[in-house]
Structure 1
Amino acid sequence: MSSETRSVAAAEDTDVLARRFACLGDPARLRVLQLAAVGPVEIAALAGETGIEPSTLGTHLEALANVGFIDVDVQGGTSVIRVAGSAYSDLMDAAKIVSPRAQVRDTLGALPTDVTLRRMAERDWDGVRSIYREGIGTGTATFTTSVPSAQKLDEQWLPDHRWVAEIDGRVVGWATLSPTSSRDCYRGVAENSIYVGGAARGRGVGKLLLRHQVQAADTSEIWTVQSSIFPENRASIALHQAVGFRIVGTRSRIAQLGGQWRDTLFLERRRESQLH
């Protein structure tokens, strides 16, 4: 590609980003986009979740579609909204340049009332490892290809930052933090893991776990929580951004999974007091 062609392409990209930022000047559109980023959603469900009148919602959806944020598909007579390609993650990647030290905000919205959180206990290992196995099977959650032993996980995870979510007394998800370095200067930097069983996905379990995880980190000696997420896992990216994670950058071809090179997005959340 010639330098002239690159300049034209860069200008076009900048124009697209500018129009997308401008489109989100209305907070309602940002809320709609965040919900769509978590996963495909029916228009009727979207109206119920946001409380926006159908006619007004239609105007917002048209504006988001015009700048390439969303696609509208008709499935069995029902209109379904989904994020178009990497539009959402591309915008968030650009946002770090505009405001890399923005205030940490929590935009998760309503949380489930039928999910109970508690500290992980010895009796939970079978359930935790079973959910881990499900996550590995998706191919979009981790580079790990086999479930580590309970002993290895116990050695890896910080003892005070292990949580499980239960529904009707059954473990349906878990969240943990692992140290990123043995050096004392990095003692407050940890990497998170959150997994939700397939049968419980879409019920807000991940939202509840992640919020509790970062709140617990904020009241401890942890000042930075980081995460590496496959770009294809838009739901996880949106979930992390909703509690204040920002995209630091993309690590291209960082490792192989199944013989294929994969990229990851690197995200971090800084404790509010560390931002000033």
Structure 2
Amino acid sequence: MTTTEPTRTALDVESAEKYAEWFGTLADATRVRLLHTVATSPAGALRVGDLAVQVGISQSTCSHHVRKLAEVGFVMVDKVGTSSVVSVNPSCCTGLPHAADVVMGTMAELPCCPTDLPADVTTRAMLKKDLRKVRDIYAEGITTRNATFETEVPAVSDLEDKWLNDHRWVAEFDGTVVGWAAIASVSSRACYAGVGETSVYVAESARGRGVGKSLLHRQVTEADARGLWTLQASTFPENRASIALHHAAGFQTIAVRSRIAQLDGVWRDTVLLERRRALDP
């Protein structure tokens, strides 16, 4: 992969003021602890009273700090009966890391992927015989309602023509296909020949083994080597594991697209991520 000196642009005043407000709100250890406690809660939300107990502060102090976090959009507070329930604003999960990247100048950096790949997971080119298993893994992702807007599992024959031939991969564990990654063209126009939309899916039974990490590493390095200069990915804000995985592979958050489409009759947001290969001068 050819590298060039990254182009840096000045941070505009409006963005700087917004980021300063965010960072200022978090310049308090109690608020940092509150945000972390809510974000890591198994239920994804906590009543103010329960949150206060977990952090070890009074309920009135907790309510004060929660209001401050809500004012800048880090958390959302909903009334459920007589209780106030606090949950993380999904947009914060991408907006805050994005702000830190911009301020620290790392938006211009192009990391590839982590090198600590699992030794027991292998990747190879996807073959026609893999498509049925690929379809099954895709079906699992559709069922979660946090992986894609698709609600119907495509036919195997449709999958065969869906992705670029040289950019479809599977991961194996103990000789079994446990995940797949592929890139689709974003346009038939020649000028967009180097731009692709990525997909990565891991079987439910194999999650937590580093399968996604291995697949993204293969996908990114092969894309760089085979002439793709821009990779795009779209994921739901609720899918924080996917966002973190893509960030580790050099993708940057470009935007949160509010209410972009409906899934099961509910408007959903998506996070647009992008990875740019350094271009030749």
- Normalised TM-score (structure 2): 0.70
Q: Give the aligned partner of residue 94 of structure 1.
A: 99
Q: Residue 36 of structure 2 is aligned with which of 54, 70, 81?
A: 70
2:236 is the alignment partner of 1:270: no
1:89-123 per-position Cα deviation (integer Å, ceiling 9, x unaligned): 22123246534742112463522111111111111
**Unpaired runs of 5+ in structure 1?**
1-9, 24-61
On the 8 A contact 1:65/1:71 being kept in 2, the answer is: no
Residues 215 and 14 (structure 1), Cα distance of their counterparts in 2 relative to 1, 3 Å cut: same
Distance in 2 (CA, whole Å) between partners of 1:89 and 1:162 is: 27
- Which of these residues, 246, 251, 260, is aligned with residue 266 of structure 2? 260
1:151 equivalent in structure 2:
157
Q: Does 1:174 align with 2:204?
A: no
Flag the structure with larger Rg.
2
Pairwise CA distance, 1:142: 0.1
The more displaced of 173-182 and 10-19 is 10-19
| Residues 57-206 of structure 1 mapped to structure 2, 5 A cutoff | 66=32, 70-71=36-37, 85=88, 86=90, 87-95=92-100, 97-98=102-103, 99=105, 101-106=107-112, 108=114, 110-206=116-212
- Classify 1:12/1:156 alpha carbon distance in 2 versus 1 (closer, same or farther; 3 Å): closer
Distance in 2 separating the partners of 1:191 and 1:104: 18
Unaligned runs of 5+ in 2: 1-15, 43-53, 55-74, 76-86
Is the 2:149–2:263 Cα contact (8 Å) retained in structure 1?
Answer: yes
Query: Conserved in 2, the CA contact under 8 Å of 1:107 and 1:243?
Result: yes
Instruction: Report the Cα distance in structure 2 between the residues aligned to 1:268 and 1:152, rounded to whole angstroms.
Output: 26
Instruction: Give the conservation status (yes or no) of the 8 Å contact 1:195–1:206.
Output: yes
RMSD (CA atoms):
2.9
Answer whether contact 2:134 2:179 (CA < 8 A) is retained: yes
Mapped to 2, the partners of 1:184 and 1:89 lie a distance apart of: 32
What are the superposed Cα offsets for residues 101-153 of structure 1, whole Å, 9 maximum, x if unpaired? 42112463522111111111111111100000000001100001111112222
Identify if the C-alpha distance between structure 1 residues 205 and 63 changes in structure 2 by more than 3 Å, giving closer, same or farther. farther
Cα distance between partner residues in 1 of 2:212 and 2:247: 13
CA distance in 2, matches of 1:227, 1:266: 6
Amino-acid identity (%): 49
Amino acid at match of 1:238: A
In 2: Cα distance, 1:170 partner to 1:217 partner: 24
Structure 1 distance, partners of 2:36, 2:131, is 40
Q: Is the CA contact 1:179–1:187 (under 8 Å) kept in the aligned structure 2? A: yes
Q: Taking structure 1 as the reference length, what is the TM-score of the superposition?
A: 0.71
User: Residue 171 and residue 15 in structure 1: after superposition, are their counterparts in 2 closer, same or farther (change >3 A)?
Assistant: same
Measured after TM superposition, the shift of residue 68 of structure 1 is: 5.4
d(CA) in 2 for partners of 1:216 and 1:134?
Answer: 26
One-letter amino acid of the counterpart of residue 37, structure 2: D
Alignment of 1:236-251 (within 5 A): 236-251=242-257
Structure 2 equivalent of residue 224 of structure 1: 230
For 2:36, the aligned partner's letter is: I
Question: In the alignment, what sits opposite 2:67?
Answer: none
